[in-house]
Structure 1
């Protein structure tokens, strides 16, 4: 479960649905330890072109979300940090075929 208001979750889903990739959430919004403006931590494990990740980041920055969304490439995360967050990963979008990129 992702801890945020329903209207904010709809914005997150709307943005991610534009991209045909698998995304996981982790961090305080998954563990239930978030504060009102805690960021949403997301990661992806498959290759996503850098320009596409930049578009995703920009979509979140321009959204009406009252918190930051931090998107990380799993393959670039330090091994110690991976161990720490792996148990909390929640699948929020499964890869789909097609898409605009």
Structure 2
């Protein structure tokens, strides 16, 4: 599988993620991973993989950073710890890691 993004878009996304979620794994899933029903306007779906819930303030902060980034599509970000087991399994089937976890991160 290949992530359907331009290299400069991925670089910007990774910089924003590192600024907000340094050390945590972040995965992409959905149309920009599978290519199914993909359009230029398709949102990038990402999930922060952590066992501890991400604070509301941090989620708002990263959502604002993406909204102000100038990307030509929406970035939808969710918290792994708040997903049902079924949703987690669905994401694990077809995902791409766009930021690796660091061993000592939560």
Pair 1:22 & 2:28 matched: no
Which stretches of structure 1, 4 residues or more, deviate above 4 A after TM superposition?
A: none
Distance 1:87 1:7 in 2: 26
Q: TM-score w.r.t. structure 2 length?
A: 0.79
Pair 1:2 & 2:6 matched: no
Pair 1:58 & 2:64 matched: yes
Distance 1:94 1:85 in 2: 16
Distance 2:101 2:87 in 1: 24
Instruction: Give 1:1-101 correspondences, 5 Å limit.
Output: 1-18=2-19, 19-20=21-22, 21-33=24-36, 34-46=38-50, 47=52, 48-96=54-102
Q: Which runs of 5+ in 1 are unaligned?
A: none
Q: CA RMSD in A?
A: 2.0
Distance 2:101 2:56 in 1: 17
Q: Which runs of 5+ in 2 are unaligned?
A: none
Distance 1:73 1:17 in 2: 16
Distance 2:85 2:25 in 1: 20
Distance 2:88 2:18 in 1: 25
Distance 2:42 2:63 in 1: 17
1:67 match: secondary structure: coil
| Greater Cα offset, 20-29 or 6-15 | 6-15
